Amino acid sequence: MFKSLAEYLDSIRARDPAPRSRWEVLLYPGVLALGLHRVSHWLYGGGLFFLARVVNHFARSLTAIDIHPGATIGRHLFIDHGFVTIGETAEIGDNVTIYPCVTLGGTNPANGIAGKRHPTLRNDVIVGSGAQILGPIVISERARIGANAVVTDDVPEGATMVGFKARSTLVPVEEWLREFVPYGTPCKEPCEPGGNRIDELEEQLVQLKAELDALREDRLAEETRRSEAGG
């Protein structure tokens, strides 16, 4: 048990340079919320729904993190800071990182898999601040959800999603990822898929202007020759 706890705390230190010791990590809201969720989830699984809710409400008031007792969570989840909401039928794999103000929200239960209203996050997913992941969709392994992205469709393995509604940056995760990408958001080009296209269009515009200037010079020279010949 203590070895497992130590591994969990070390996994957080590997993703967060702020703590100087495991003792600091023990005070993190995300760690406290996850520990209390383990209790509420055990009660929920035993049919003690009211008691599970009591523990859930206590955890939420203490940490500003609301994890429904029914949510299924794997190993080494790191919730950095708080104000995170995780719905009842959400499923979270191992080594997932969630930054502040994220919602794993549900949709109409008639829309999607019966009884499954919330997203599934596979292993090693990173979700940036303010992201909203909605519905019974699957965020595949090693995907990155950029800050404030709104995701309503399945995300392929290794994709980085940005924007509203979120779109893939088309940047393979291997180009950016060595071990960990904070906030799940690689910055600067080529993060934005339109960046290269804009550069191409600007180059074409320069070429067109040069060709237009050359045509004007040729036309002016031709008019000059005709004028001299007529004179």
User: pLDDT tens for residues 163-201?
Assistant: 888 777 665 555 555 566 666 665 554 555 555 667 788
Q: What CA–CA distance (Å, rounded) separates 118 from 136? A: 5
CB 95 within 8 A of CB 101: no
0.95 exceeded by pTM: no
Percent helix, strand, coil in the chain, to 5, is 40, 15, 45
Q: What CA–CA distance (Å, rounded) separates 159 from 92? A: 17
User: pLDDT tens for residues 30-59?
Assistant: 999 999 999 999 999 999 999 999 999 999
Residue 169 parent element (H or E): none
**pLDDT more than 90, % of the chain:** 64
The sign of the dihedral angle between the CA atoms of 25, 61, 107, 166 is negative
CB 16 within 8 A of CB 30: no
